[in-house]
């Protein structure tokens, strides 16, 4: 069994939503930490030049020798550039502002949408999960993420316009499925920053369930200030305050992901 586990290739997921501030990075960092707590080997790839997933994992984005940028342009491998998050218990392929320049550099390179996929293949047997924290744009960077992934996890707030924004994203995923990556599918919608006292949120949540059925994850992530405070301590919320409602919800979500993988 150990040998089988060592050979199996990682499952690769993008955390994506074309909107900013919807909880992508919070989900990526806390899912990584939750999966690590469930004894999974995890690589978190920071695909956003803002470097929030890097900082939120306790890695200083200003003092890096190699980042995702060097990997994408072929100057480094993931094995060389990845760092261990001491607080989170998982590996991070970090990023900083330099990554914004990759858009321009990539245009000139061959297989420009598949650079990340190729880089991940070299380390795929070292991990159970590779999570990719996407920026809120449909850039060449995001295309690299979506081209590399088996599936997309979509964090969303239960707001009035949530469904509208979702159809854009689902159409994008369909196009990528047709042109770039036939493996790609929506794994699930994750309701985040949920406040059950708000009637509208309950209504939108129920609407999501009736529209998308089992594509909606069972786990609900509540709005919880401890999750928002954790990044300034360079820690995932799951580690910063394990007893908090937000941390417990993400640990439950990690379990739900592991269970789903068994049925995929
Ligand atoms: P994105 O990566 O989509 O831009 P973030 O994960 O950075 O979104 O979240 C946006 C803001 O909302 C951040 O300040 C974050 O700390 C906060 N936040 C995210 N999820 C929660 C939550 N469940 N409860 C409270 N605050 C949250
Ligand atoms: Mg983000």
> Each residue of 182-241: pLDDT tens digit?
999 999 999 999 999 999 999 999 999 999 999 999 999 999 999 999 999 999 999 999
- Rounded Cα distance, 95 and 201, in Å: 34
Q: Note the ligand closest to the C-alpha atom of 49.
A: 2
Nearest CA to ligand 1 atom 24: 223
Q: How many CA atoms lie within 13 A of 167 on its CB side?
A: 4
* Angstrom distance (rounded) from CA 228 to CA 37: 20
pLDDT at 1 over 60: no
The CATH number of the domain where 43 resides is what? 3.40.50.300
Nearest residue by C-alpha to atom 13 in ligand 1:
228
Indicate whether residue 227 lines ligand 1 (CB < 6 A): yes
pTM check: above 0.80 = yes
Provide φ and ψ at 53, rounded to 5°: -70, -35
Which ligand is closest in space to the CA of residue 19?
Answer: 1
Identify the residue whose C-alpha is closest to ligand 1 atom 16.
Answer: 228
Which residues have C-beta within 8 Å of that of residue 136, sequence separation ≥ 6? Answer: 17, 18, 19, 20, 21, 22, 24, 48
- Residue 134, ligand 1, Cβ within 6 A: no
- For the Cβ of 52 lying below 6 angstroms from any atom of ligand 1, the answer is yes
Strand partners, 156: 191
Residue-wise pLDDT for 132-177, tens only, equals 999 998 899 999 999 999 999 999 999 988 788 788 888 999 999 9
Dist CA 92 CA 136 (whole Å):
20
The response to whether residue 223 sits with its C-beta less than 6 Å from ligand 1 reads: yes
pLDDT, residue 207, reads: 92
Report whether pLDDT(49) > 70. yes
| Tokens describing residue 69 | 């940028």
DSSP code of residue 261: H
Going by C-beta distance under 8 Å and a sequence separation of 6 or more, which residues neighbour residue 7?
125
Q: Tell me the CA–centroid distance for residue 28 and ligand 2, in Å.
A: 9
- Asked if residue 7 has pLDDT above 60, the reply is no
**How far, in Å, is the centroid of ligand 1 from the Cα of 245?**
15
Summarize pLDDT for 55-82 with one digit per residue, the tens. Answer: 999 999 999 999 999 999 999 999 999 9
Q: Is the CB of 152 under 6 A from ligand 1?
A: no
How many structural domains are present in the chain? 1
Given this model, what pLDDT does residue 2 score? 54
For residue 263, what pLDDT band results from cuts at 50, 70 and 90? Answer: confident
Domain region containing 163:
2-263
Q: What does the pLDDT read at residue 210?
A: 93
């Amino acid at each position: 069994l150990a040998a089988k586990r060592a050979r199996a290739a990682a499952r690769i997921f993008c955390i994506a939503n074309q909107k900013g501030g919807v909880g992508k990075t919070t989900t990526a960092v806390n899912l990584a930490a939750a999966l690590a707590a469930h004894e999974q080997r995890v690589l978190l790839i920071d695909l956003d030049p803002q470097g929030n997933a890097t900082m939120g994992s306790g890695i200083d984005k200003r003092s890096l020798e190699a980042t995702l940028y060097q990997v994408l342009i072929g100057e480094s491998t993931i094995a060389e550039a990845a760092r261990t998050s001491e607080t989170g218990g998982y590996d991070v392929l970090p990023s900083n502002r330099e990554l914004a320049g990759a858009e321009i550099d990539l245009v000139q390179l061959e297989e420009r949408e598949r650079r990340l996929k190729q880089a991940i293949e070299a380390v795929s047997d070292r991990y159970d999960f590779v999570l990719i924290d996407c920026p809120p744009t449909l850039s060449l960077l995001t295309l690299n993420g979506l081209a590399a992934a088996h599936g997309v996890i979509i964090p969303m707030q239960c707001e009035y316009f949530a469904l509208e924004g979702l159809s854009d994203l689902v159409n994008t995923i369909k196009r990528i499925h047709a042109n770039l990556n036939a493996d790609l599918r929506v794994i699930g919608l994750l309701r985040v920053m949920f406040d059950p006292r708000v009637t509208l949120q309950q209504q939108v949540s129920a609407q999501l369930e009736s529209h998308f059925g089992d594509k909606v994850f069972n786990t609900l992530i509540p709005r919880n200030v401890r999750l928002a405070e954790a990044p300034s301590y360079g820690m995932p919320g799951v580690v910063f305050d394990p007893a908090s409602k937000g941390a417990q919800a993400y640990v439950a979500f990690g379990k739900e992901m592991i269970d789903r993988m068994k049925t995929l």
